[in-house]
Structure 1
């Protein structure tokens, strides 16, 4: 991309904001979901504070008319946009075979949703409308464990349209998953209106 400025590392929005007082979810589910979003934010926000840091946006609308789901986090590193969905799952080994994901021997339908795939498509179209066709858009599903000791493990887990990172692994090397470098200001400007108030 030519003629782009950069935005020094900044954090916009509030992690877990959409789950605060969520009437659509049971209180426990909303509380647990918000805790996963905050854990991811605790890893991402310090990346923005580093010299030449990334820009982090929390709690964004998916730019698809009528689409009600949100995206938990977006990281802009240079001209790369990484969409992140935070989850809190029961510990165990998750693997996908023939398009079906199981935790152990039980089918885990929740792990096969296509929200991230749709979100990537929506964000790509949104950026093209802002004349940013050459931006790389990718997605990461980060899953934290409900148990303080037993982890979530991925052995061939294939979320639709994304790569998967167990929370403990994501915490060890976040830049591996989201990249590094100061954000292109045009991308940040295009994404800021999507941040939920």
Structure 2
């Protein structure tokens, strides 16, 4: 038995679409976890609130379809964003933090997913959904800023980043240069 542990990138999917596929898989699985959290806390968010955003009445399973579709689209957007040379160069750049330097690329993608989950939470439920509900004449007391919404989006982002690192062949990431002056080892 080998003493070497397998790297997440050992299971990468080759080809030019691997970034989008990794984002899609991470997005769907992340939204399943997020949806499960919402279901435990308040199932009406999935069954009533999410379809209500699109003008549908209580639609039961349709809320799950919308929620998974949101996760898929946001996962693909994550894949497209982190595969851009500027962002990828930032993720892979040398830093002055020893702890971060000692981590692998997978941990950096998980951290990028965490930040992405926070950004999605801030932009979509906190700002956009509240505005849409207010403009539509609804009560803007929508639970957008609720702790479960924040926790769900953060969990989504972390799982998205982790699965992205597992399913994406990141060999090309090692060759990308940082878009800024990197930290030097001289102190």
Give the TM-score, by structure 2 length.
0.31
Between Structure 1 and Structure 2, which shows a larger proportion of helix residues?
2
Between Structure 1 and Structure 2, which shows a larger proportion of strand residues?
1
- Which one has more relative contact order, counting CA pairs under 8 Å at least 6 apart? 2
Larger radius of gyration: 2
